[in-house]
Amino acid sequence: CMMSAQQMLKVFVTRRIPQEGMKILKKAGMCNLSVWDSDEPVPRAELLKGVADAHGLLCLLSDKIDAEVLNAAGPNLKVISTLSVGFDHLAIDEIKKRGIRVGYTPDVLTDATAELTVALLLATARRLPEGVEEVKNGGWSTWKPLWLCGYGLSGSTVGVIGLGRIGLAIARRLKPFGVKRLLYTGRQPKPQAQEVDGEYVPLDTLVRESDFVVVSCSLAPDTQSLCDKTFFSKMKKTSIFINTSRGAVVNQEDLFEALSSGQIAAAGLDVTTPEPLPTSHPLLTLKNCVVLPHIGSATYSTRGVMSALTANNLLAGLTGSEMPSELKL
Ligand code: NDP
Ligand code: DGY
């Protein structure tokens, strides 16, 4: 049964999202939906206008939800549901202070993101984009013993920074390639690491001993710029750096320096600062840097499931019931 217009709860959706989620929101019959119906991010002024008096906000990782947005929303706002597992774009302290609940999308994107991380690691280590380019531009003259050689996983040491849901899924996928040692760091050792014979080591050891350093931690004050000049200076000259977490975990000037000076062999990034990375950015001039446009979770099915979960989290927040995936604040 439909609610009367007065009972309808205002929900602002900051982007065109996969139809799975929209169907759920419409079918619930309790939302007065206002959608920024575009594939491009909502301009800040429209976001501030759109959230006014909203009970629910469905947002993306490209929307910075800070005190200004929360104040613009006002006291109606009960729930923020983000179409992401990362929540570094949300001012959690401000949200908590106002008693607003938060929904997010853990687990459902773990496989897709781990798979993309493996693809990026192999593409970077075996120089696939360079090879494809050479085939197209005529650089492929003959089979050459020393041409386009890279690095393999067999017998290697892999270091995972942040063995969470995605980090563990990456480790599980990499092990069968013949990885000899699997090192990891984090805030505490993980019992789940046994499954991949993971060795909990200090960051310094991981960085010094790994042939592949894979970053899969969340972005927080203690991981901001974690990968800087000092970090890269400890890496082996033959090592590969992969980041599929958040761009701000890396100091990109320091990474550029490490890549262009030969301090490290190559880097593969699915995330950058800013996003999009300007086409004139120095990192894009380097052959040993593979940059992807933040597509970790981008499979049709994963994005559909994320959309549905985000809608269901939002509805639960509006009705004060248990959320399928609530972020514990
Ligand atoms: P989890 O919370 O399961 O994992 C995050 C991990 O980061 C935890 O194991 C945590 O360790 C670790 N961590 C936190 N602080 C530090 C630190 N100082 N040093 C080392 N590790 C640390 O999240 P998910 O695995 O589900 O997702 C991880 C991140 O991946 C997301 O936050 C998001 O930013 C990013 N992501 C990117 C995608 C893409 O498209 N490229 C797709 C999906 C996610 P501990 O358990 O000890 O606290
Ligand atoms: C996330 O969910 O945090 C990713 O960055 C996009 O799926």
Closest Cα partner for 115 from 288, 309, 299? 299
- Beta bridge mates, 13: 35, 58
> 54 and 73 in contact (C-beta within 8 Å)?
yes
pLDDT at 3 exceeding the cut of 80: no
93-105 per-position pLDDT tens digit: 999 999 999 999 9
CA of 164 to the centre of ligand 1 (A): 6
Closest CA to 72 of 44, 99, 96: 44
CA of 220 to the centre of ligand 1 (A): 9
The protein residue whose alpha carbon is closest to atom 6 in ligand 2 is: 84
Is 294 one of the catalytic residues?
yes
Question: Strands, E, within the chain: which ranges?
Answer: 9-13, 31-35, 56-59, 79-82, 101-103, 157-161, 181-185, 198-200, 212-215, 240-243, 266-269, 289-291
> How much is the ipTM here?
0.98
Tell me: pLDDT of 157 over 80: yes
Over 80: is that where the pLDDT of 6 sits? no
Mutate to test the pocket of ligand 1, among 85, 213, 275, 294 (most ligand atoms within 8 A of CB): 85
- Three-class SS of residue 245? coil
Q: Which amino acid is at 124?
A: T
The ligand 1 atom nearest the CA atom of 218: 32
CA 107 to chain centre: 13
Q: Is 317 in the pocket of ligand 1 (CB under 6 A)?
A: no
71 Cα: distance to centroid of ligand 1 (angstroms):
29
Nearest CA to ligand 1 atom 26: 165
Give ligand 2 pocket residues (Cβ under 6 A): 61, 84-86, 105, 109, 296-297
pLDDT at 269 over 90: yes
Q: How many Å lie between the centroid of ligand 1 and the Cα of residue 258? A: 24
Per residue in 50-88, pLDDT tens?
999 999 999 999 999 999 999 999 999 999 999 999 999
pLDDT at 2: 57
Q: What are the φ/ψ torsions at residue 39 (nearest 5 degrees)?
A: -85, -5
Average pLDDT over residues 225-240: 98
User: From residue 92, how far is each of 25, 89, 165, 220, 274 by CA, in Å?
Assistant: 25, 9, 21, 11, 21
Active-site residue, selected from the candidate residues 55, 89, 281, 294: 294
CA distances in angstroms from 268 to 132, 285, 286, listed in the order given: 16, 14, 11
pLDDT band at 7 (very low <50, low <70, confident <90, very high): confident
Residue 4 pLDDT > 80, yes or no? no
Q: Which ligand is nearest to the CA of 170?
A: 1
Model confidence, pTM:
0.97
- Cβ contacts of residue 277 below 8 Å, gap of 6+? 283, 284, 291
Q: If you measure from the C-alpha of residue 217 to the centroid of ligand 1, how many angstroms do you get, rounded to a whole number?
A: 3
Please tell me if the CB atom of residue 62 comes closer than 6 angstroms to any atom of ligand 1: no
